[in-house]
Amino acid sequence: MTSKLRIGYVGVGLMGLPMVKRLASLKYAIRAYDILAEKTAAAVAAGASAAASPADAVRGADLVLLNLPTTDAVEQAVFGEHGVASALKPPQLVIDFSTIKVEKCRAFGQKLRAGTGCGWIDAPVSGGPPASGSGTLTIMAGGEAEDVARAQPLFADIAGHCTHMGPPTAGMATKMLNQLIVGAGHAVMAEAVVLAEAAGIDAARLPECLAGGLADSALLQKLYPRMQRREFAPQGYVRQLLKDLEMVSEYAAGLKAPTPLMGEALQLYRIVAHLGHTELDTAAVLKVYERK
């Protein structure tokens, strides 16, 4: 017998599968579902049991986790045919690790509570697949205090840093800020690579040289080296960051908040996508600067 919370997991792709592997290693009981059968099979190989649908993943779960690529995918998984909402009952709780539109997040949470009596935590993450697999994610949580408190044992096992930012949607609004910083930072790292190489210095040593100074950052230490080595195997897809930056742009416009630097990063990612690189890592923004 296990004292761990029982998990229903919907969406076991680039971010979800490493988390499933970690949770299974910690002896969580997991029922996993993905729209792609091979991803569900990979979760089963990692120690989960297979669910036939999102609704089936809910069966026996204390917490139902979502890790999906788009707002539409979340809506379909929760409110579509054989969706999570069709099987959910109190005191079950939905935790959405996806990055989706803030107002849609608000509407989904309200609809779920009205229809099922169950709570919804928006808990977008940062750190990528390595952090998802090692339990060192950064979680930005929005939700009712009692719901977030119930989820704390799970968060302690998957996150190195978890902050309850406030009521429902506060986590998703925070993720918009995270993606603004990340998107603009990607463009800066690409320009640093190009300029360092043009200057004739040892471009690979820049992170070592600047470590601890005001220019230091996780992007400099983790992203810049992959850019400099032209390593574009996806730890996060161009299409995903582009989707997120489009959402940030829409959200900022609705608040009438100026974000010109983020706008430049958005244009760069639109170009990367136009060049056909949507399935490469987000570091592939460097390719825009290297066009002859």
Cβ atoms of 144 and 94 closer than 8 Å: no
CATH of the domain at 101: 3.40.50.720
Angle between helices 102-116 and 71-79 (to 10 degrees): 10
Name the residue among 159, 168, 166, 164 with its Cα closest to residue 138: 159
Total count of domains within the chain: 2
pLDDT along the chain (292 residues), means of 10: 83 97 97 98 98 98 97 98 98 98 98 98 96 97 97 97 97 97 97 97 98 97 97 95 97 97 96 97 96 62
Within this chain, do residues 38 and 159 fall inside the same structural domain, yes or no?
A: yes
* Integer angstrom CA distances of residue 62 from 28, 34, 117: 11, 19, 14
Residue 77 belongs to some domain of the structure: yes
Would you say residue 132 lies in a domain? yes
In a domain, 2, yes or no: no
Query: 118: burial class by Cβ within 10 Å (0-12, 13-18, 19+)?
Result: buried
Buried b (16+ CB within 10 A) or exposed e, 42-77: bbbebbbeebebbbbbbeebbbbbbbbbbbebbbeb
Beta bridge partners of 140: 163
- Residue that finishes a domain, picked among 127, 147, 167: 167
Do 11 and 154 share a domain, yes or no? yes
Residue 282 structural domain = 173-289
23 shares its domain with 159 = yes
Using an 8 Å Cβ cutoff, are 198 and 212 in contact? no
- Total Cβ atoms within 10 A of residue 90: 10
Confidence (pLDDT) at 292: 54
143 and 248 housed in the same domain: no
Query: Is residue 48 domain-shared with residue 114, that is, in the same domain?
Result: yes
Residue 1, pLDDT score: 39
Q: Specify the pLDDT at position 20.
A: 98
Residues 6+ apart with CB under 8 A from 185: 217, 219, 223
Q: CA-CA distance, 97 to 247, in Å (whole number)? A: 16
Give the integer Cα–Cα distance in Å for 134 and 132. 6
Q: Is residue 1 part of a domain?
A: no
User: Within this chain, do residues 152 and 283 fall inside the same structural domain, yes or no?
Assistant: no
What are residue 95's phi and psi, to 5 degrees?
-125, 120
| Cα–Cα distance for residue pair 92/238, rounded to 1 Å | 34
Tell me, yes or no, whether 43 lies in a domain: yes
Asked whether residue 265 falls in the same domain as residue 234, the answer is yes
CA distances from 70 to 66, 174, 268 (A): 11, 17, 21
73 and 155: one domain?
Answer: yes
Within this chain, do residues 71 and 177 fall inside the same structural domain, yes or no?
no
Q: Are residues 58 and 107 in the same domain?
A: yes
| Same-domain check for residues 61 and 104 | yes
Segments of 116-177 assigned E as strands: 119-122, 125-126, 137-142, 159-166
Amino acid 194: pLDDT: 97
Of 112, 146, 167, the residue at which a domain comes to its end is 167
Q: Which of 147, 167, 187 is the last residue of a domain?
A: 167
For residue 275, give the 3-state DSSP assignment: coil
CB 231: neighbour CB atoms within 10 A?
12
48 and 161 co-located in one domain: yes
